[in-house]
Amino acid sequence: MRRINYTENVSLEYLKYFSSKDLNDIQDKWDIIRDIYTELYIFPSDVKKIITADFSKLMKWYFEWINLIKRNKDVEKGLIKRIDGSNSKLLIFDYSQYYSNIIKFFFENTSSLDLYSCCYCEIEPVTNYKKKNGANRITLDLDHFFPKDQCPILALSLRNLVPACSACNSRIKNRNNFLRFYGINKQSQNEQMKILLQISPTCDQYEFNKNAKIYVLPKVGFSTKIGYLKNIDSYQINFSANEIYEHEIKAFRLNQRYNSTSILAEALSIMDLKRNYPSSKIQEMTKQFKGIISSEHLEEIIFRRNFDENRHCNLLKLKKDLLD
C-alpha cells in the first residue's frame, strides 16, 4: 500500500553499510562460483550491481534463476550449504550474515525512505529502538519480495527488501509459494512480470493509492439516525481496486484485517465527523467566526488531513479515502 521513496543516491548510500571487506568477500565467492557454473554468466559479474539493481532487473533475474535451476539443479548447490537436510545457509549472498548492516541502513534512513508503516498493509507503524546490546532496530521485519530461499542471489538486493509487519511477513506471506500467494501462478510468465512490476512497493510502477479505494459499506438493517460509531456492528470496511491490485488485497487479506474492531472504529469516527460537519455546517461556523478563521482552516482543525499526513501516521490511505 505504501511505495518506498528511494532517493537519487540511495544505491551508493546502501553500499556504504557494507564494509570493503564484506563486498570483496562476496565478490570473491561470486567469481569462484561463476567460474564453476558458467550458466551463472547470465547474471552480472559485479555483485554491487546485483545488490543495488532496480526492481525490473531483479524481476528479470528472478525468472532467469527459476528457469536456470529447472535446467540444472546443481547450480543451486554452489550458493547454498545444506545443514541438517532441511535447513540451509547461503554461502555468498548471506542475508543473516549481513542483517545487522542492512537493518542499520533502514534504521538510519527511515525518514528519507518515507517508511512510517508496513508497506503492505499500513496497519503497523514503524518505530525505532535500541536493543540491550546497543544494536539499532526498527519494529518492522524486512520481507524479501522475491523469497531468498527461491532466489538466493537477490537476498541482499535493496529493492528486494520490503519493511513489513510480522503479520504480513511471517504469518500471512511466510513460506507460501510466491506466485501462488499472489494468485498469479497460472498466468503466463509475461503476465506475471506485468503484475509483479505493479504490486511491489519497491518498484516505481507501484500505484496502489491511485488504483484502489477504501470505503465504508452498511450492512442490512443499519440506521443512519444512530450514527456510525454507535452502530458499529452495522458497517464494514471494503476495498475496491483494479484487477492488478486485487491480487495484493486478497493476498494480504486486507478486507478481513481492516474490519478489526479498532480499525473499523477509526473509520466510523471519521464517518461521524463527515456526517456532523458537512460543508454547509462548516460555512455556517465560518460566518460565526466573522473572518477570524477561514473555512479551510476550520476543516483542517476538524478533519486533520494535513496534520495526519505531516505526522506520517499509519492507516493514512484509509483516512484519506474516507475524507475525500
CA–CA–CA angle 241, 307, 303 (5° rounding): 70
Alpha carbon distance 90, 147 (integer Å): 13
Measured CA angle at 164 (ends 106, 240), to 5 deg: 130
Residue in 278, 275, 294 with CA at minimum distance from that of residue 286? 294
Q: What is the pLDDT of residue 78?
A: 76
d(CA 180, CA 182): 5
Taking only the tens place, the pLDDT of each residue in 81-125 is 655 555 566 688 999 999 989 999 998 998 899 888 999 999 988
pLDDT at residue 129 in the model? 79
What pLDDT sits at residue 42? 95
Report residue 155: phi and psi, to 5°. -65, -25
Global pTM? Answer: 0.90
pLDDT tens-digit profile of 171-209? Answer: 998 777 889 999 999 999 999 999 999 999 999 999 999
Beta-bridge partners for 125: 117
pLDDT at 311: 65
Torsion, CA 252, CA 255, CA 259, CA 263, rounded to 10: 70
**CB distance 203 to 145 below 8 Å:** no
Residue 52 is predicted with a pLDDT of 98
- CB of 130 within 8 A of CB of 104? no
